[in-house]
Amino acid sequence: MVQVQIYPASTNRVVNRALIHEIATTHSKLLEGKLPAYDGVQRLYTAGPLPFNSKEFPVKYADDNGGKEKEYKVTIKLTAKADIHHLKEYLQGRLLDVPRETIQCLEIVLRQSSTSK
């Protein structure tokens, strides 16, 4: 899991997703072509590790209504790795606790893929 921090803080998920989309588009080489799945708040996942543990990106954004352009600082920081193995163990009855982090990761990825089509 990668944690996202946006400064100045934004509670607008549409804006937050637009900022992450801009980073993914502008810095695709730095992200090694990995497309992020983002919950719009603070959790971000990629298929495989990113080539850094923490990185700050300056991003300029103006809404579609012709609003004033605003500059944000978006920090992407590795905090944990989602392990699909825990889900397999749970489904096979070898793990009693539901692997919530893994399921949450899958929900975010599936939601992202359905909204981007």
Q: How far is CA 106 from the centre of its chain?
A: 12
Amino acid at 76: I
Q: In the prediction, which pLDDT does 116 show? A: 65
% of residues, the chain, pLDDT over 70 = 97
- pLDDT per residue as tens digits for the range 40-56: 999 999 988 899 999 99
**Above 90 in pLDDT, residue 87?**
no
Q: What is the pTM of this model?
A: 0.84
Contact 74, 23 (CB under 8 A): yes
Q: How many CA atoms lie within 13 A of 36 on its CB side?
A: 29
User: Bridge partners of 6?
Assistant: 74
Q: What is the mean pLDDT of the chain?
A: 90
Please give the average per-residue pLDDT across 59-66, as a whole number.
Answer: 84
